[in-house]
Amino acid sequence: MKQRAPLIPRGVHALAWLALLLLLLPLLALALRVPWRHLPALLAEPSTQHMLGITLTSAALSTIVVCALGVPLALSLQVMPRGGNLARALVLLPLAMPPVVSGLALGAAFGRKGLLAPLLDQLHVQLAFSFAGVVLAHTFVSLPFLVVTVDAALRQFDAEVWYSAQSVGLSPTYILRRIVLPALRPAIATGAGLAFARSLGEFGTTLTFAGSLPGVTRTLPVGIYLERETDPTAAYGLAAILVLLAIMMLALAMLPGLFRAQPPTKAVPLQTMDLDALARLSAPNRAAQNLTLGKITIPAGSCVGVIGPNGAGKTTLLRKIAGRIPAKVFGDGARLPNAMWQRGIVMLTQSPGLPPSATVLETIAMVHDEPDALLQAAGMEALGAIPNQQLSGGQAAQVALLRALAARSSILLLDEPLAAIDVHASQRWRRMLQVAQRNRTIMMVSHNPTDVATLSSHVLILEAEKTALIRATEEEFQRPSSDFSASFVGLNRLEGTVTAVRNGVVELDCQGLTVVGTSDESLNAAEQAIAVCAPEAVTLKVPQNRTTQESARNQWEGRITSIEIHKNVVFVRVKFAAASITLHTTQASAIRLQLRVGANVICAVKALNVHVYRSPAPSQH
């Protein structure tokens, strides 16, 4: 079902109708003066046929030249970080120049006494006052129309399509030929149509540079100008012919856009995933490698979960390893190639980056010899004939993940790979990634503790774009190394100094907050230690309900700083003098205790539910 059109003020509609009237009224007035009954006779005249032939031929040839030169120019504009805007301004300059000035400029460059005259004389080439000069003049004035159209399409083109295609090993030439140009066909067709229409109406530049030689350089617009002085009726007839040709060409140019509308996305049931077959078909072509970037070394065959706060540089790290950002990366001690498509590292981002004009089957076939078997093993054969642009977000994410595995790389970089996939499908792919990591080196950025806990063997913690620590996942989840890591795994973390140790019970001074817990380490007084406890282990009370006898040894009084509700669970943040913790309670308890932000409360925790361990040594990374 189509959405309603956006609302526009009535005054805007009034101005729109005024603009249309301004465009249509002159054409209507012209149509009233055209001798329609005499048009067949006018078309049969030899002079008209000569002018029409020169006009159509020169327009067609110039459009071919415009396409051959304009598309590469539009592509090159995308990779000019500093000179791109200046180049775009130069491309638009012929549109702003008066036609006579354009003709004079062409004469100064290509005329009989122009800048390139000696070279043209050596080649026995004459452009001025020749049919070739007509084609050159048309090319000069119509080139901006195609460049601007294709450049606008490329600036809307998802850059992830380029990057992801190179990441799975496709060369730049292959990407341009099989992915980019097919996606640009509507824009190229529109730009070519506009260029052809502009060539049909070109007058001033052609007359100034190529002249008006009958049967050689006299085009239909030039003929109209000459007939206007001697036979106005014939001039109106020739004008009508030219307008009709322009309308036909513009209509043809608009046809590609009429067929671009895509049917709505529909649900397609997926089949059962054959893990063994999928693992066999996507097995890497080479052994897993140790991966080194600076002081960071990822062991071969391991899956490392990359965690850290927003802006810490997690995605930037993956881009450096993948080759999207220049960096020295080593695999088993040997420096990897600078070119992304030669590096052998597949990076999958949160944007699928699928070829927009290809089907799912064609997308997989670009990187795998058995696309049908691979789709069948993944239970996704029902998606094979569907164009990528018709996929839902979750379907596209699964196709992108399958393509990443289909590239059969021994190094896989995943940035939130399951974020857009529903719960049921995530379980399927989580099992597949567990199988796939047996013979791969995998780095996975994730904000989902479940994915990190179930998929990764190690955790890389990044904070402020610096490596904090690389630790075993199990150890990090039990003994988080930072406040962020503790929050990520769902634990409260308090740092302090050991003040007493009695029979395995440790007492800490955490910046004025006394914490009592148990430890399986031999701690001594004055040592730095960390205490952790789960939010579920904290009981919340209000001061007026304080009882005389408490079983919990930890009684911390603080102030509520935030209250949030997620899926019927109330998350309460309590701040003490210099520390804070998060606890969970039910909605019924929150209502009964009349919890509110700013209220004073008591957090009670049993010593058995507080685990104390020695502070880790500072990271050397």
In the chain, pLDDT over 90 holds for what percent of residues? 61
- How confident is the model at residue 1, as a pLDDT? 52
Give the C-alpha separation, 439 to 443, whole Å: 13
- How confident is the model at residue 620, as a pLDDT? 44
- How confident is the model at residue 482, as a pLDDT? 86
Give the C-alpha separation, 238 to 70, whole Å: 31
Question: Average pLDDT in the 95-102 region?
Answer: 92
- How confident is the model at residue 542, as a pLDDT? 87
Q: What secondary structure letter does DSSP report for 86?
A: H
Three-state secondary structure call for residue 447: coil
Question: Average pLDDT in the 323-338 region?
Answer: 90
What's this model's pTM, rounded to 2 decimal places? 0.83
pLDDT exceeds cutoff 70 at 212 = yes
The pLDDT tens digits of the residues spanning 576-590 come to 988 899 999 988 888
The pLDDT tens digits of the residues spanning 379-414 come to 999 999 999 999 999 999 999 999 999 999 999 999
What is the b/e burial string over 49-81, where b = at least 16 CB atoms within 10 angstroms of the residue's CB? ebbbebbbebbebbbebbbeebbebbbebeeee
C-alpha torsion 137→138→143→145, nearest 10: 140
pLDDT exceeds cutoff 60 at 61 = yes
Q: What secondary structure letter does DSSP report for 584?
A: E
Assign domain 491-614 to its CATH architecture: Beta Barrel (2.40)
| Residues pairing with 501 in the sheet | 506
Question: Average pLDDT in the 92-121 region?
Answer: 91
| Residues pairing with 611 in the sheet | 518, 532
Q: What secondary structure letter does DSSP report for 359?
A: B
Domain ranges of the chain: 25-159+171-258, 276-478, 491-614
Question: Average pLDDT in the 555-560 region?
Answer: 94
Give the C-alpha separation, 313 to 329, whole Å: 16
Helix axes 423-436, 393-406, angle to 10 degrees: 10
Question: Average pLDDT in the 492-521 region?
Answer: 92
Question: Average pLDDT in the 358-375 region?
Answer: 95
Annotate 19-50 with DSSP letters as a single string. Answer: HHHHHHHHHHHHHHHS-GGGHHHHHHSHHHHH
Give the C-alpha separation, 147 to 67, whole Å: 9
pLDDT exceeds cutoff 60 at 288 = yes
Pick the CATH number of 25-159+171-258 from 3.50.50.60, 1.20.1630.10, 1.10.3720.10, 1.10.150.530: 1.10.3720.10
- How confident is the model at residue 481, as a pLDDT? 87
pLDDT exceeds cutoff 70 at 540 = yes
Q: Are 297 and 448 in contact (CB under 8 A)?
A: no
Tokens of 594: 């009349």
Per the rule left: phi > 0, alpha: psi between -120 and 50, beta: everything else, 158 is beta
- How confident is the model at residue 85, as a pLDDT? 84
Element housing 91 (H / E) = helix 84-96
Question: Average pLDDT in the 284-308 region?
Answer: 89
pLDDT-derived band at 196 (thresholds 50, 70, 90) equals: very high
pLDDT-derived band at 466 (thresholds 50, 70, 90) equals: low
Element housing 306 (H / E) = strand 303-307
- How confident is the model at residue 256, as a pLDDT? 65
pLDDT exceeds cutoff 80 at 261 = no
Residue whose pair of structure tokens reads 């817990």 in the numeric block: 517
**Per-residue CA distances from 303 to 175, 216, 287, 433, 456 (Å):** 30, 72, 15, 10, 5
Using CB atoms within 10 A of its CB, is residue 24 exposed (0-12), middle (13-18) or buried (19+)?
A: exposed
| Residues pairing with 516 in the sheet | 507
Pick the CATH number of 276-478 from 3.40.50.300, 1.10.150.120, 3.40.50.2300, 3.30.450.40: 3.40.50.300
pLDDT-derived band at 621 (thresholds 50, 70, 90) equals: very low
pLDDT-derived band at 266 (thresholds 50, 70, 90) equals: low
pLDDT exceeds cutoff 70 at 336 = yes
Element housing 498 (H / E) = strand 492-502
Annotate 522-579 with DSSP letters as a single string. Answer: ---TT-EEEEEE-GGGPEEE-GGG--S--S-SEEEEEEEEEEEEETTEEEEEEE-SS-
The pLDDT tens digits of the residues spanning 165-178 come to 999 999 999 999 99
Question: Average pLDDT in the 245-251 region?
Answer: 85
Q: Which amino acid is at 619?
A: S
Report the range of poorest mean pLDDT among 32-36, 106-110, 403-407. 32-36
- How confident is the model at residue 230, as a pLDDT? 85
The pLDDT tens digits of the residues spanning 219-242 come to 999 988 888 888 888 888 888 888
Question: Average pLDDT in the 205-213 region?
Answer: 91
* CB neighbourhood size of 270 (10 A): 17
Q: Are 137 and 204 in contact (CB under 8 A)?
A: no
Give the C-alpha separation, 310 to 447, whole Å: 10
Mean pLDDT of the chain: 89
Tokens of 397: 């994410």
Give the C-alpha separation, 280 to 271, whole Å: 18
In degrees, to the nearest 5, what angle opens at C-alpha 21 toward C-alphas 19 and 25?
A: 135
